[in-house]
Amino acid sequence: MPARVSPTDRIHAKIDELFASGRELPEILEEVARLGAQLLMQAGLEAEVAEFLGRDRYQRFAATPEAQPGARNGYRPVTVKTTAGPVTLERPKVRGTTTAFASRLFGKHVTKTHALESLVIASFVRGLSVRDVEAAFADALGDQAAISKSTVSQVCTEIKTEHQAWAQRRLDTLVLDYLFLDASYFRMHPGSPAEPILAAWGITNDGKPVFIGLAPGSGESTDAWADFLGELCERGLGTPLLVVSDGARGLIAAIEQVFPAALRQRCLIHRLRNVTAKIPAGMQAEIRDGYGACLDTSEVNIEPGPKLVEFVDARLTAFAKRYAATYPAAMKILLTDREGLTAYLRFPVEHHQRVRHSNFIERTFGETRRRAKVIGRFPGETSCISIAWAVLDRASRGWRGFAMTPTGLRLLQDLRRNLLQPPRQLRPHPTPDTETNPTEIISATA
């Protein structure tokens, strides 16, 4: 990376490279937490220099009437100890000034801080407000942390601006084959129970993963999900071929309302949990194995499509009949919405393992919830959405895409034509005894 790139940009690049490395997600997120602390502290230092000189990086002195004499003169490395280990910062140097620059954040000799949790959790998570970030710096660094409100505001504004731009971007260029929908619950408001954050992500028609939308919801009702999906459509999101979700009734109703032409896949893992919840513990392994055998098509010589759907549906019927007398409640759940259980069988076989459940993002949501436990309760929606977006946005850059084989592409193209671009129905030919003039006959058959 060129030497003229700012230290904060270099840290951003390290975070992006980390998510693209293919390492395990928990390991990645721990490293991101350390880099997040480094990023925030480095941004604070650079913001202090901008405030001290009265102009931003590369902004000319002559073009800034209120600027102070002096110029940036590179950086000097300094190591700050955190609870996750040492963090190296680039302490800015300036020259040609009438007074010496001294960081109010770190003073002259600050080399130790227990600020990892305070800076990452309290600053990025606890609302990103000026007062909260000020308090986090003060708690972590003591009297040396007399950081100004303007510096805190500048750091927080940069983060908020990035999220707002993402949340308002147009989605017209996205052509989705698969859309995944899920929600995760967090305590966002004082005195209120946990409330859902609604999330959408997908796979484009060239196999690329994309993080699409994130928003708070008052619940998982049909109206809440329909509003969320409707807002995505207003920003240009088109109808996908397959929508994958759990079995929440409000979500299913909203999918059918907003995307009536799309196929819908119900998460097989969630359905198995629903079934085994009605089974005694001693029999759950047998039911789980039988359920998996019904859905195993690895040795079935049938191409993806309606025939494969019929074959698996017959298996599920036989399986339910076998256990219906002993576990009627569980088998009733199994046979409910069977069309939603087998929709994925119409799609390329190389995609089956990843489109038949909605767990594509559950690990990341789980990591977000784990970090949220440090806080207990967020002070508001902005705080909660900020941390969820920060984790999911970075994690999405390391998600694996889908393999697109020639056979699979042809199948997806056929599905797109049949589902989203059906041929227009011709008007019926007039019968001989119908009184129709020649002009109308030509119009009807054109």
- Distance, in Å, from the CA atom of 11 to the CA atom of 45, rounded to the nearest integer, reads 14
Same domain, 55 and 148: yes
Same domain, 40 and 183: no
Return the exposure string of 13-27: e unless at least 16 CB atoms fall within 10 Å of the residue's CB, then b.
eebeebbeeeeebee
Q: How many domains does the chain have?
A: 3
CA distances from 34 to 29, 39, 86, 273, 348 (A): 9, 9, 9, 36, 40
CA distances from 74 to 46, 94, 97, 403, 436 (A): 11, 7, 14, 46, 87
Same domain, 15 and 150: yes
CB 150 within 8 Å of CB 44: no
Q: Does residue 421 have a pLDDT over 70?
A: yes
Measured over the CA atoms of residue 268, residue 270, residue 276 and residue 282, the dihedral's sign is: positive
How high is the pLDDT of residue 202? 93
Residues 220-225 have a mean pLDDT of: 92
Q: Which tokens go with 109?
A: 């000799």
Q: Is 262 left (phi over 0), alpha (psi -120 to 50) or beta?
A: beta
Same domain, 260 and 273: no
Same domain, 160 and 177: no
Q: Does residue 395 fall inside a structural domain?
A: yes
At 164-209, the pLDDT tens digits run 889 999 999 999 999 999 988 877 777 778 888 899 999 999 999 9
**Apex 120 CA angle, 119 and 124, nearest 5:** 100
HSE value, Cβ hemisphere, 13 Å, CA-based, for 45? 27
Measured over the CA atoms of residue 97, residue 100, residue 105 and residue 106, the dihedral's sign is: positive
Q: Does residue 38 have a pLDDT over 90?
A: no
Q: Does residue 442 fall inside a structural domain?
A: no
Residues 88-106 have a mean pLDDT of: 75
How high is the pLDDT of residue 268? 94
- Measured between its terminal Cα atoms, the distance across the chain in Å is 62
3-state SS assignment for residue 105? coil
Q: Which of the two residues, 170 and 150, has the higher pLDDT score?
A: 170
Same domain, 260 and 310: no
CB 212 within 8 Å of CB 171: yes
Q: Does residue 445 have a pLDDT over 50?
A: no
Q: Does residue 430 fall inside a structural domain?
A: no
How high is the pLDDT of residue 295? 95
Q: Residue for token digits 């998510």? A: 19
Q: Does residue 431 fall inside a structural domain?
A: no
- Distance, in Å, from the CA atom of 139 to the CA atom of 157, rounded to the nearest integer, reads 21
Same domain, 185 and 256: yes
Same domain, 259 and 292: no
Same domain, 70 and 197: no
CB 200 within 8 Å of CB 212: yes
Residues 212-217 have a mean pLDDT of: 91
Q: Does residue 327 fall inside a structural domain?
A: yes
Q: Does residue 435 fall inside a structural domain?
A: no
Q: Does residue 181 fall inside a structural domain?
A: yes
Same domain, 138 and 71: yes
Same domain, 339 and 321: yes
pTM over 0.75: no
Same domain, 122 and 239: no
Q: Does residue 446 fall inside a structural domain?
A: no
Q: Which tokens go with 342?
A: 């087998």
At 366-378, the pLDDT tens digits run 656 655 554 455 5
Which helix (H) or strand (E) segment holds residue 388: the answer is helix 381-396
Range of the domain at 19: 7-166
Q: Which of the two residues, 394 and 441, has the higher pLDDT score?
A: 394
How high is the pLDDT of residue 435? 46
Q: Which tokens go with 346?
A: 């119409």
